[in-house]
Amino acid sequence: MTIEEVQNEIIDEFSMFEDWEERYQYMIDLGKTLPLIDEKYKTEDNIIKGCQSKVWVHADMEGDKINFTADSDAIITKGIIAILIRAFSNQHPKNIIEANTDFIDKIGLKEHLSPTRANGLVSMIKQIKLYAIAYQTQLN
């Protein structure tokens, strides 16, 4: 699936819920399915700067695609990173770099986060794209 197809799937899933309480519960459930980062990658180098809670993200190149793993010490944040990893994992670096992230606005996530969590979300996206840039450079 392309990034856009995955993002559209996420938008469709979130549209099934009546209110934000149900959406938060869904995010918590998604967080429970997150491909967890290996403990050895829970280092300062893999911590997302700008997040209120601790979030670690690690990327590995498999063939010409990047796979992400992550973890967080907060359940909502874990759900947020799970959504991002679902959208961007198993994708080519160039596609991640060029990907639009407006699906976040379409599911209404940014407007329902506290300012510090919204900043953390932006930092998570930035870090995922930085990994993609680094791996794209290696491919060239």
User: What is the per-residue pLDDT across 82-136, written as a single tens digit (0 to 9) for each?
Assistant: 999 999 999 999 999 999 999 999 998 888 888 888 889 999 999 999 999 999 9
Taking 80 as the threshold, does the pLDDT of residue 140 lie above it?
Answer: no
Q: How many helices (H) and strands (E) does the chain have?
A: 6, 2
Confirm if 51 and 123 have CB atoms less than 8 A apart.
yes
Res. 67 pLDDT band, cuts 50 70 90: very high
Please name the residue ranges forming H helices in 33-106: 75-88, 93-98, 103-106
pLDDT at 85: 96
Give the predicted TM-score (pTM) of the model: 0.94
51 is catalytic: yes
pLDDT at 45: 92
Catalytic member of 3, 51, 57, 99: 51
Closest Cα to residue 93, out of 50, 123, 62, 117?
62
Report the CATH number of the 3-139 domain.
3.90.1010.10
For the segment 13-66, what is each residue's pLDDT rounded down to a tens digit? 999 998 999 999 999 999 999 888 999 999 999 999 887 899 999 999 999 999
Residue 76 Cα distances to 5, 38, 91, 100, 103, angstroms: 24, 20, 24, 23, 18
pLDDT at 3: 97
Taking 90 as the threshold, does the pLDDT of residue 138 lie above it?
Answer: no
